[in-house]
Chain A
Amino acid sequence: MLLALSSDQEFVRETTERFLVEQTPPNEVRRLQRDTAGFDADYWRRGAELGWTSFLVGEAHGGGTISGAGLVDLSLVAYEFGRHAAPGPLVSTNVVAGALSAHDAQTEVIADLLAGTGIATWCAPELRSFHGSWAPTVEIRHDRAEVVVLGKVSPVEAAGQAGHLLVTGRDGDGITQVLVPASTAGVSIAPLRTADLTRRFGAVTFDDVRLSQDAIVGAPGEASTDVDLQFHRTLAILNAEAVGAMQAAFDMTVEWAFDRYAFGRPLASYQALKHRFADMLTWVEASHAISDAACCAIDEGSPDAAELASAAKAFIGQYGAEVVQDCVQLHGGIGVTFEHNLHLFLRRFTVNRALAGTPAEHRQRIGAILDGWEAAA
């Protein structure tokens, strides 16, 4: 998380932290495992009042940033989400709200998302489909006055809870995005199982879904840079959450190492373990550093945003896994029980690592960027 917060930013972070501590303690997270939505509507609405869905939305639509850098402000909330393994469709709702606001599209939907009374999600193309340009599996056709959506996207976060789906599809040689109400004829959503206790995912099928032209978000065929931004914002939020989860697991494990005695001395006194803690602290600090740097670069639209975003996703995915799993190892048997809280963070971390491109995919993307692949495409 950022080293220096303004007092307004600190206020938002601290308010969110306090709210999450009160509203979603570990046992509440455990209870929500059996909840269909994975979060309470009232909880989400109250969170929205704290600003959770407003930072990527323009002031004209009722949103606004604290610092002028909305994604950075949002990353503070995401970090606290990770630190508390908090429920709620933070990533998907924010990414869609930001995309709609940028094109002044569907302002009633934006208002619902801001108020926390509506949920939206993004049916995003997979990173592995990216070869210099995006190649979504969904196809978008134009049939006289209608837009037709065909195809399948999986996994889609909060698909079963969302009232609206922002769909990215190939449209001839271009990329087009449309906002599809989940209730539209031809939309079917099959729930999926996942490792996180409160996140929900679905597989979404669009079977000849027909909408009017005003469902299109942005200019038809020209959504490629919008998709880049949505993808980078997704990475930034997932990364900030993952760093929060890592920090929580690490802090618990440091405390455990001081409290737990073996052979008459605390675990923290064994050099073999101390050296692992040194590695872990280094990787946690490095994860904070790269997550924050990427977040700022994406927010500023800096030329190295893609490289930093992928470096962050690749590094945090790879080294964060070592940190969180070593936290389990250092706890011993208790670390793999449902009763202990450690797995809540392991779950959040694991799902975020798998979403929006694996470390290997992002390393390959960095290599391609270094090779000037994207510039050439």
Chain B
Amino acid sequence: MSAVSTEGARVPEQLEDLESFRKRARSWIRSNLRRATRDEMRWGRFDGNEEAELAAVARDREIQRKLFDAGLAGICFPRAYGGQGLSPGHQKVLNEELVGYEYPARMQVPTLSPCATVLLEFGTEEQKLRHIPAILKGEELWMQFLSEPSGGSDVAGALTTAIRDGEQWVLNGSKVWTTGAWWSDWGLCLARTNWDVPKHRGLSVFMLPIHQSGVEVHRIEMINGSREFCQEFMTDVIVPDSDRVGEIDDGWTVGTRWMFHERMMYSSPYVSVPDGGSHGGTAATSLLNIARELGHMDDPSVRDLVGEARMLEIVGDELMKRVTESIRSGRLSDQAAAIGRLFKGTSASRISTLALEVAGSAGAAWTDESAASSTAVNFLMRQVGSIAGGTVEMARNVISERVLAMPRERTLDRDVPFRDVPRSRPTGS
């Protein structure tokens, strides 16, 4: 196992300087990528058109390949695995230059981070050489087989079981909340390999192709009509031992870093995402558009609401920078990523409410053309930002216990064999 270096390559004089990198990135982006449309900038709004979605996935793979060929994929991944061996500073420059252009949105989270970063940190040399270049070329899209129907926040309570059979493992169980598993290629899977030891000591991590007999992918319909989230049912899925990531029964060591990378989300130096900072195209701009269309921007109470949304965005961006820098410098532990997660989750919920407030009755009934057309449905989905990627309640536990070092909650699942730990009654699904 080798630790991931957030510094990229270690010999500074070999790094391309930031300004010449910026020029190179800018000129390539302008001559090779299309200007982004509004919908591309907000791809979470699934309209139910599967063909369009599959076409968008294909385009993402294509852009990723072009970025790879241009030397702009995997900025912070080592050169040995097809990356550029550059620094987070270079990634930031690329993110700034991507503003206003299409980019491979579906390749970023969870494929590049946390999946590829977990492989980078815990994979064998052979595993890294086999998968990371393929990911950076857009050939492999990965999903997290992490949450289970039996428990969302309690990730280490995984019931999916892997039983050893010679040089292979047999997996049975179910995973859920995998975004876009129906168009993805590989899953990174946390499974229980030992029921007779305490819960955190009997887990292992595996990788497996999603499209194979034995893996059944069900799509889940959400209240906004999206069918992006999936549930997988694994029945006697065979995984060779060479596809195990990390040590047997030591999966929680992998899992801890896995969830750190997950909390970093779009602040991770391993993902490329257009810088959202002060360049428009944000949620506050959509509130502004609603208010303008209704002719309400001269109303101080409406300016207050729009201003609050913008304030939360600006502060959130600055907070993410501060937390990322604090973790990098060691002022705060890795666990402080939960601070950014908590802020982003709660502020997204608030902004969704502000939009409904700005829209007034235009949020209750609309035409497809009106600026307020998605306001009510977004409000129905308001809590997603506080649930997906680990709930804000878990983030609050992490902040208080791991950052402020407050006493941990008493639990009934430590120091007893996992099979003796009380569990939820199975629910039908």
Contact = CB atoms under 8 A, between A and B. Distances in A.
Interface of A: 3-4, 254, 257-258, 265-266, 268-269, 271, 274-275, 277-279, 281-282, 285-286, 288-290, 292-293, 304, 307-308, 310-311, 314-315, 360, 362-368, 370-371
Given A274-B401, A290-B319, A370-B307, 6 more contacts: A277-B400, A286-B315, A310-B311, A311-B310, A362-B307, A366-B310
Given A4-B329, A278-B396, A289-B319, A366 B311 contact: yes
A289 B315 contact: yes
Contacts of B305: 363, 367
B306 A275 contact: no
A281 B404 contact: yes
A43 to B, nearest CB: 32
B27 interface: no
A286 B319 contact: yes
Nearest to B406: A268
B300 to A, nearest CB: 5
Given A275-B393, A277-B406, A311-B310, A3 B302 contact: no
B288 A371 contact: yes
Nearest to A277: B400
Contact of B307 (A274, A290, A292, A364): A364
9 contacts: A271-B397, A277-B400, A278-B396, A285-B322, A364-B300, A366-B311, A367-B303, A370-B306, A371-B303
B323 interface: yes
B312 to A, nearest CB: 8
B212 to A, nearest CB: 42
Interface in B400-415: 400-401, 403-404, 406-407, 409
Contact of B318 (A274, A289, A362, A371): A289
Nearest to A274: B400
B310 A315 contact: no
Interface residues of B, number: 46
A168 B314 CA distance: 31
Contacts of A315: 311-312, 315
Please provide the 5 A-B residue pairs with the shortest distance between their CB atoms, ordered closest to farther.
A367-B303, A367-B307, A366-B307, A274-B400, A363-B307
A367 B315 contact: no
Contact of B339 (A271, A281, A292, A308): A281
Interface in B217-243: none
A314 B306 CA distance: 13
Contacts of B308: 314, 363, 366
B38 interface: no
A360 B300 CA distance: 9
A257 B406 contact: yes
B399 A282 contact: yes
B342 A282 contact: yes
Interface of B: 278, 284-285, 288, 292, 297, 300, 302-308, 310-312, 314-316, 318-319, 321-323, 325-326, 329, 331, 338-339, 342-343, 393, 395-401, 403-404, 406-407, 409
A108 B107 CA distance: 64
A282 to B, nearest CB: 5
A371 B223 CA distance: 33
A367 B342 contact: no
A4 to B, nearest CB: 7
Contacts of A364: 300, 303-304, 307
Given A311-B314, A366-B311, A289 B407 contact: no
Given A281-B339, A285-B339, A274 B406 contact: yes
A290 B343 CA distance: 13
Nearest to B398: A278
Nearest to A312: B315
A307 B315 CA distance: 11
B278 A304 contact: yes
A278 B318 contact: no
A47 to B, nearest CB: 28
A352 to B, nearest CB: 17
Point out which of A268, A274, A307 has the most chain B C-beta atoms below 10 A from its C-beta: A274
Which of B288, B331, B399 counts the most A-chain CB atoms under 10 A from its CB? B399
A367 B400 contact: no
Contacts of B304: 360, 363-364, 367
Nearest to B325: A3
A89 B294 CA distance: 46
B322 A3 contact: yes
A304 to B, nearest CB: 5
A271 B292 CA distance: 44
Given A307-B314, A367-B303, A371-B303, A289 B396 contact: no
Contacts of B322: 3, 285, 288-289, 292
Contacts of B321: 289, 293
B315 A290 contact: yes
| Central interface residue in A254, A278, A368, by most chain B CB within 10 Å | A278
Contacts of B288: 367, 370-371
Contact of A278 (B278, B306, B326, B395): B395
A157 B220 CA distance: 61
A289 B324 CA distance: 11
Contacts of A274: 396-397, 400-401, 404, 406
Contacts of B278: 304, 307
A283 to B, nearest CB: 8
A128 to B, nearest CB: 10
Given A311-B315, A314-B307, A266 B407 contact: yes
Contacts of B401: 274
